[in-house]
Structure 1
């Protein structure tokens, strides 16, 4: 059962940073979601909550200030890459950044267009390693995120299956588009 007091604390803009840090670990997702939307929550805590509540992070009033202050920060880019409210053009720009965590977030975002997912599989990610000779572990996270993405086509899932990366078979099998 949801503790109304914890939810109220997580939602209140005058809640201390220390309390918000504690509430970010709360067992109830509604409380953690309220912490993610609270403008008083520290960036480090928002970063930890970002994978679970990406849209709450970008809806947080403080996010717009962070975006204006430093649009190229890792936190801002990662939050945009994860959020389903990010525009297709912004996702396209993020898909060209040489950062594995951001690329995996783009690949896992259900709003990422299929042509970007296809580019990652066919051309490889824009990382500092040579795609043709890349270690399997370097591509594992990216290809798993693509395999889990509900936009991934049946054809692309088959290409992923033929890639030889063994760790993505379960993700492919769980995708609703899997043949």
Structure 2
């Protein structure tokens, strides 16, 4: 730091430095000087408002704050106007308490959405009269469990959805939400990885297809239940695993199945992910390897392996497919750099 800046810093730290001098050096100083000015009791209020964006905690700990508030009761509002995202910072409790009781809903929302907000204030805001404020509390991962339980029976559907989505919602609370009459809420419960397995098993048999799908895609659902669901689909129509874009877990199950009819169906499905098709490149059944070679979703690297297949027909088809993919690459205006 230059001697010039050292002198400015000494003045900024000195509580006897006149207000106008602090205003003057505030325009010239670096971050360390601005920091010191934010803490100096002689700093003019308008400079404190300006510095609230950079040093909110220091401004709120300024020794002159009580006097400033006596002269200007609206000072806190002026601070927030200059830094509306301040509640994401760690702030003095008195300021967060003031904001949690603010008449403006947008300010209470900001407090409710911040993970820095103390739990007892989130519990207080969980009973707010405004739906948007309560929803922010329901979304907050720091909200106390008992408050989430309170919001789980809120009359507002969107608030119940937010509770169902919250990864910190208790298993007990999710179990109750699984009985909600609204299928959108049950679907969110089915997708939550905190949902108890027993509840997931129930939701996997829900009357709503969207709820069942969400349960199937939850990694916590038992493999036995997954298998029963897939078997039910196959019993209805085996073309389902041949033609439809299924959940990844279904594709994975089918690719590793002992029944060649199931493996050949998933080898033919154009929605089967490339990494799973690649698994079938080494299948012992030639018809499956041939089907993989004909699948338009097969990767070039997998086709290159199949061009060396022991079966001449498979190797030939793979070579044709690989050549076509390479031609499409080189003559595609979007991909061809030339």
TM-score when normalising by structure 1: 0.54
Question: In 2, Cα distance between the equivalents of 1:56 and 1:89?
Answer: 18
How big is each residue's C-alpha offset from its partner over 1:71-113, in whole Å with a ceiling of 9 and x where there is no partner? 5542453244223343433322322224221111111112111
Q: Which residue of 2 aligns with 1:104?
A: 213
Equivalent of 1:11 in 112, 122, 125: 122
Match of 1:166 in 2: 270
Gaps of 5+ in 2: 1-85, 90-110, 278-338
Equivalent in the alignment of 2:256: 155
SS at match of 1:56: coil
Distance 1:115 1:35, change over 3 A: same
Displacement of 1:169 after TM fit? 0.5
Residue 33 of structure 1 is matched in structure 2 by: 141
Partner residue of 1:114?
Answer: 223
For residue 122 of structure 1, give the secondary structure of its aligned residue in structure 2. helix
How many residues align? The count is 152
For 1:166 and 1:172, the matched residues in 2 are separated by: 12
Structure exhibiting the larger radius of gyration computed from Cα positions: 2
| Counterpart-to-counterpart distance in 2, 1:56 and 1:148 | 30
Aligned match of 2:157: 43
In structure 2, the CA distance between the partners of 1:125 and 1:11, relative to structure 1 (3 Å rule), is farther
Corresponding residue number in structure 1 for 2:168: 56
Residue 64 (structure 2) aligns with: none
TM-superposed deviation, 1:57: 4.4
CA RMSD of aligned residues (A): 4.7
Kept in 1: contact 2:127–2:134 (CA 8 A): no
Pair 1:66–1:99, CA change in 2 (3 A): closer
- After superposition, the Cα gap between the structure-2 partners of 1:171 and 1:83, relative to the gap in structure 1 and judged at 3 Å, is farther
Q: Under a length normalisation based on structure 2, what TM-score does the superposition of the two structures give?
A: 0.33
Q: 1:131 to 1:100 in 2, by over 3 A?
A: farther
Distance 1:169 1:33, change over 3 A: same
**2:298: which partner in 1?**
none
CA contact (8 A) 1:97 1:103 kept: yes
**Secondary structure of 1:167's aligned partner:** coil
Change (3 A) 1:85 1:50: closer
Q: 1:89 to 1:49 in 2, by over 3 A?
A: closer
* C-alpha spacing 1:135/1:167, structure 2 compared with 1 (3 Å): closer
Distance 1:65 1:97, change over 3 A: closer
1:95 and 2:198 aligned:
no
